Chains A and B, each alone.
Chain A
Amino acid sequence: MIIMEQIAASRPMVQISDVSKAFNGISVLDGLNLEIPIGQKVALLGPSGSGKTTILRLLMTLETIDAGQVRIEGVPMYEGAPDAPCLLPEGQIRAVRSRIGMVFQHFGLFPHLNVLNNIALPQILNGQAGKTEAENRAHELLQMVGLGEKAYLLPDQLSGGQKQRVAIARALALQPDILLFDEPTSALDPQRVSDVLDLLNMICRKTGTTMLLVTHEMEFARQFADRILFFDHGQIVEDGAPDVVFTNPKDNRTRAFLGLPVIDV
């Protein structure tokens, strides 16, 4: 038993093996391999269209892969042959999905529910808490994200930054093991960006949750992440600690992206 647990603990939280994905015949990911250990905070950088969102979406099962396998702490998401993988049936995939949460660029709040219920309802529907408990927890989280007095407003009565903070609180309420952030500040007014970044920093410090963040805020990525992945055309061209990647990237595409002088080979 002890040995088994040790093996489990040594497993990566996310393991992407030989994953390919094409949209309408155009390949976006081609044989991608990536492992993320438990608790690591990863920032995904790279030019637009390089496949960053696609990676988050297939982890969230919003997209399915064409080939390969994805494992969450050793548990596979697909069955069947590796060249024709098939997402697990609804009942089984929900167990895996329950470990993952996602924050979208455009918030995805439920417009017909007030802020409190946006956060409380998912807890209730997932059987994590009763009504009172879920609401108490929602109030606590709102306090934490600095929106304690907005509980009874509808989402469209909030500013963009406030909406995104509610969306983050909603994702946190389900206590996932993995949190995915897809450009959480891209849709915000510049003066609201810092509210959300401050919140992300705080969560990052406070929890041991594994996090994947897609962002264009270079400075922030540097503070936030343990590890930087630089993508180009669906491939990881740079993978390393922030200080290394930002000061001395080895790939010219990264250098160009960061505005550093290109090295002649």
Chain B
Amino acid sequence: MTELVLSDLLRSVLRGLEITVILTISGSILAFVCAFVFGLGRVSRWRFIRVFSVCYIELFRGTSVFVQVFWLYYALPAFGLLLSPLLAGILGLGLNVGAYGAEVVRSAVQATGRDQYEACCALNFTRYQTFRYIILPQAFPRMLPVFGNNMVELMKASSIVSLISLSDITFQAQQFRIRTGQTFLPFAVTLIVYFILYLGILFFIRSVTRLANPQKVKV
């Protein structure tokens, strides 16, 4: 194997990695926001918001992320909305994973015991105070492990963006194969890179979990 081929592979992987990382991080941020907006919207007092949230959640959970990204990129231009490939990718992945996240937020919030709401009422908290200081701090740590899984799923799903002319790491590996005929090397490298990204997400979620959980004092 020549040095030329190796440097070609390195450049391809790095360029693909950049796209994969951008998609994973931006997509996760969008998914996080959607999860909260629609997860809480789902239990809102206003019927309209509830219905709207349910529509979003079911529409995006009930159809494949592949089709969603395809629509955002190839069908929206018919409305005169020409999203850049990167934006379409982030939107598709973020909205899809956000719909799953919304159910996580909803169930975590609803898992908080009734006694907590009643204590808040007895202490004369407003609805906002109840949510902000009592419900959310208890529900958030419960969401984190599932959010971590969702983030890993998003990272793995990000390889579908080759469909919309984004060169993520899987696509780059594939291009490298087509250029060189090498199959083992690019996919071995891709495998390792994905696994390292996975470990990164794991580490991130662990750190946030540690921050979000109350610190016990030694008795």
Contact = CB atoms under 8 A, between A and B. Distances in A.
Interface in A66-110: 90, 94, 97-98, 100-102, 104, 106, 108-110
Contact of B138 (A97, A111, A170): A111
Contacts of B127: 90
B122 A60 contact: yes
A113 interface: yes
Given A153-B219, A157-B219, A110 B116 contact: yes
Nearest to A180: B122
Contacts of B122: 60, 62, 100-102, 104, 108, 171
A174 B138 CA distance: 23
Contacts of A108: 115-116, 118-119, 122
A165 to B, nearest CB: 16
B101 to A, nearest CB: 21
A60 B121 contact: yes
A114 interface: yes
A154 interface: yes
Contacts of B214: 111-114, 154
B119 to A, nearest CB: 3
Interface in A24-77: 60-62
A129 interface: no
Contact of A97 (B118, B119, B124, B137): B124
Interface of A: 60-62, 90, 94, 97-98, 100-102, 104, 106, 108-114, 121-122, 125-126, 152-154, 157, 170-171, 174
20 contacts: A60-B121, A62-B118, A62-B121, A97-B121, A97-B124, A98-B124, A101-B122, A104-B118, A110-B138, A112-B137, A112-B214, A114-B217, A121-B133, A122-B125, A153-B217, A154-B216, A154-B217, A157-B219, A171-B122, A174-B123
